[in-house]
Amino acid sequence: MQRETVLNTLVFLLLPAVAAAALVLDEPFTITLATRAAILALAAVGLNLALGLGGLVSLGHAVFFGLGGYAMGILASHAQSYVSLDLGLFTIEGTKSMPVIWLVAVVTSALAALLIGLLALRTAGVYFIMITLAFGQMFYYFAISWPAYGGEDGLSIYVRNDFPGLNTLDPIQFFALVFVLLAAVLWLMGRIEHSAFGLALGAARQNAVRVETVGLSPFRLRLVAFVISGAVTGLAGALFADLNRFVSPTMFSWQMSGEFIVFVVLGGIGRLYGPVVGACLFVLLEHMLSGVSEYWLIYLGAILLFVVLFARGGVVGALVGQGVRHD
């Protein structure tokens, strides 16, 4: 536990250290890379609550990532075209305000997670994976075939959205914003893990009968976890879209869901900082190896295979020197 705390602190400081170094060396692209890593880490931190603590292998978390992305894209596109958004019963104005966009992204993905969870959590194992995957594909093809917001081509937003008091187009300021959000969510997840809810959720993963025997419903515990998990991934989606100033159906793709699982497994399932390590490693490898070969994912596959076969606790587990999670 002690070593894991030290490691967590180092990982936590790594991203801002890289960004600060890049600022000094005047390498804005590296800052953008660090921002990308932090956003993907945030998405995977969300997944980790469902996957790591709850044991729910969701192959549909791209739904929430995409919804967050499109929440940003749709609101910002209406703001930049000065056309209000007609929702039938009423119309709303578009917005370029990040806090409002984040709120919409979080609420939308939480609602989607609630609906998907209500259906998918009635099943377990392979069926749960398949249902979440099916929902992912539904959203993906819907986004492709919906011409209003770019369809297959996606949707470009010309100027990054605003945050009060910051110039978000300055890479380091946007990075700082993203990093503060990541830190806040990590803090929150740490609290949840050690809360009464976290204890019960973890027990439901280990033995659902045990949880029922003490009078708790595993279904409700998992549903709440799935909703929180989806909301966090949705927030990451809004940030990801803002980073790229572009949204496309790719954010809904099952490959995206798969990447989130890879981040979690690579870093260490169920470990608070596992997804952060996994996402950073992924972005680093992507950056270094994609220059070597366009088939760089083969190398990633080999690394993942190694982790799954020989280091079940992921990179964090291997460095801390224990294979199994929890203290």
Partner 1 sequence: MTEPLLSLQGLSKSFGALRATDDVSLTVQPGEIHALIGPNGAGKSTLIQQISGGLSPDAGRIVFDGVDITALGAAARAQAGLARTFQISALAMEYTVLENAVLGAVGASGAVWRFFGPVMRGASVRVVAEAALERVGLANDARKRVSDLSHGQRRLLEVAVALTLRPKLFLMDEPMAGLGAEGSARMTVFLDALRAEAPILLVEHDMDAVFALADRISVLVAGRVIATGTPDQIRTDAQVRAAYLGEEAAP
* Binding flag, residue 214, partner 1 (CB under 8 A): yes
Strands 155-156 and 91-92: unpaired
Whole-angstrom distance, CA of residue 51 vs CA of residue 59: 10
Helical (H) or strand (E) element with 246: strand 246-247
Residue 123 engages partner 1 in binding (rule: CB under 8 A): no
Q: How far is the CB of 224 from partner 1 (least distance, A)?
A: 8
Can residue 217 be called a binding residue for partner 1 (CB under 8 A)?
yes
Q: Per CB under 8 A, does 148 bind partner 1? A: no
Per CB under 8 A, 197 contacts partner 1 = yes
Of 212, 255, 293, 305, the one binding partner 1 (CB under 8 A) is 212
Q: Smallest Cα–Cα separation from 52: which of 201, 269, 312? A: 269
Report in angstroms how near the CB of residue 40 gets to partner 1 at its nearest. Answer: 25
Q: Of 34 and 228, which has the nearer Cβ to partner 1?
A: 228
Q: What b/e readout covers 57-83, taking b as 16+ CB neighbours within 10 angstroms?
A: bbbbbbbbbbbbbbbbbbbbbbbeeee
Please report how close the Cβ of residue 206 comes to partner 1 at its closest, in angstroms.
Answer: 4
User: Contact between 134 and partner 1 (CB under 8 A)?
Assistant: no
How many angstroms separate the most distant Cα atoms in the chain?
59
| Dist CA 168 CA 51 (whole Å) | 32
In angstroms, the CA 102 to CA 100 distance is: 5
199 near partner 1, judged by CB under 8 A: yes
The piece of 15-23, 68-76, 133-141, 211-219 that touches partner 1 (CB under 8 A) is 211-219
Whether the Cβ atoms of residue 96 and residue 76 lie closer than 8 Å to each other: yes
Q: Is 3 in the site for partner 1 (CB under 8 A)?
A: no
CB of 52 to partner 1, least distance (A): 12
Q: Does 194 bind partner 1 (CB under 8 A)?
A: yes
Under the rule (CB under 8 A), what is the footprint of partner 1? 191-192, 194-200, 202-203, 206-207, 209-218, 221, 224, 324-326
